[in-house]
Structure 1
């Protein structure tokens, strides 16, 4: 039985000044903050989950504490599907996307963590998975006044030297000619055998994306992520039809229903989703299996704390995905949140094999990284 649910707003102030196109254009700033849900059962088991909280941690925390928690207390923690449906249906009038689904996501991850600990199995095995190491591509190439093309080359070459065979570079904040110059420089630095993807973070218009996509094709870019606003699915479908370069997205979509529309319209060639905001592990596995049925590869997205990265890793292992996204920007909410390190072996992330999420959360982080406001 669920005895208590507590939430913690965690912020990391040490992230550097690097920005993506969306931030540079003044449309969004992404402070490094997460909301961690801690669920305790009457028999002493504890699970942890992470929710998306880019600039909205107050709202996410209130949603969990005031709306979701009363629905869950004294419920059987093992009935994860039932509890997901209960939360979703109770919030239909004001949820279905955004902050409410982010809150549900963190709760759901925590419930899976508990289930794994109770059964003494890692989550990926509960989901039927077997794959233990998954290739990671490194998202870097952010814009910065301190990063000229030579520093960009050094950054991407460093990732390859570490053993990663895929990288992703941010585009969209500079002119197309300047971004193409950056990408040509990266190609020279990493060689022909390393996959290079790009991410526009939704900033292009349809015609800009079409023009840029044709330029990217000439450079042999791996995939073109979130070229336009997520809501324009018909236009995104036109891009997938007119461009040879695969269109990837949309991490900013929520739940199986929205992803069904994305896939039904063939608005992408590669599906990207993230447990911390799509509805948790329960929903991400459904989206992944739907992608299998409809013939789409899935590459999990990642951008925030360590709990969501590990949750995505378990789902990726269960689905048998080939790739997963990883960042190496300085981020204590990823690197110092657990007692153990997230293991990397020759450019592959190793799925933890201990019960639940498989890593031990440091309780001290709730004080060390508590948000000041």
Structure 2
């Protein structure tokens, strides 16, 4: 397969993005909304161009033997293009998060102070196999007044290049300069490393993908990083869990879209509940094609379960495999999550309100659920529109990052000649 391999000038692209970011500051919300809606129309109109490029990536993936889950993330269709185009329209309908006056006051000397929201500036987006991220990230960046530099994975380079070409085509007919969206069209890792260190041009990096990618960015970047985390998410079925709720939640969290970060990877189950409801649980595993990697007790009662190795407790399967851990009580369940969780999404299923509240209070994660699936940790599902990633850190932003997460603050002072 022929892949794009360009001698790109990453620094020049970053300089152009920074200049474009300045121009975005003077655009109105109406200007940005019109541009996003126009981009949505152009993307839908040019779907055949995008799908032709995507087929090159899929063919390359088949040659390299990529997994089914990976190919699903990589694959586009006319319907998926329509979905992410509609995502741009949805973002256009959200409130512009910039220019809001958070607070204002006047000092004793008459100096007026305002604390207002402003764009971050230039965002570097580093991501793996999902071409839809190219559109989602672009829409969120432009709506919040930011320029963006996109560095997608080599497996989707043809798809991403085609999408960005269409975006540039569309932006030429709007008030947003096309230089506000930059794409590093190279499979050379040195291009990515260069992006890590351009603090004078890039204001923040957002990595979105597997653990190795995120670790590489966090450990090597000198540009500030908004860290998105991998999702080793747990469902804890308490002793007093309703059987139907527990099974429905587990099946949904595991099988609805196994290859996404908010899918459940481990089922923690109270031993008494497991022994009492093993037939119903086994039926759910069998009917939904779920392969169990269990501890000693789990494999003794679950047919076809395989022994869980140590790495299974920390594994993000991104498939219909699931680890099953039996515990004696809530304390053991929380301890297991503290040891192996990634601070993404955790859930408890129980009718015991005291246990539920203890779980909600003590578990350290961006999103915690009582009697609901972890699949709701998503910007669209929570009403944010598209998301640029799910932050598992604690500074600046946490959880699904929508438009407000792409802003910072500025203090504006107005005086009449005050000096100190």
Does TM-score exceed 0.5, indicating one fold?
Answer: no
Q: Say which structure, 1 or 2, has more relative contact order (CA 8 Å, 6+ apart).
A: 1
TM-score bucket of the superposed structures, by smaller chain: under 0.3
So what's the TM-score if we normalise by structure 1?
A: 0.27
User: TM-score by structure 2 length?
Assistant: 0.25
Structure index of larger Rg? 2
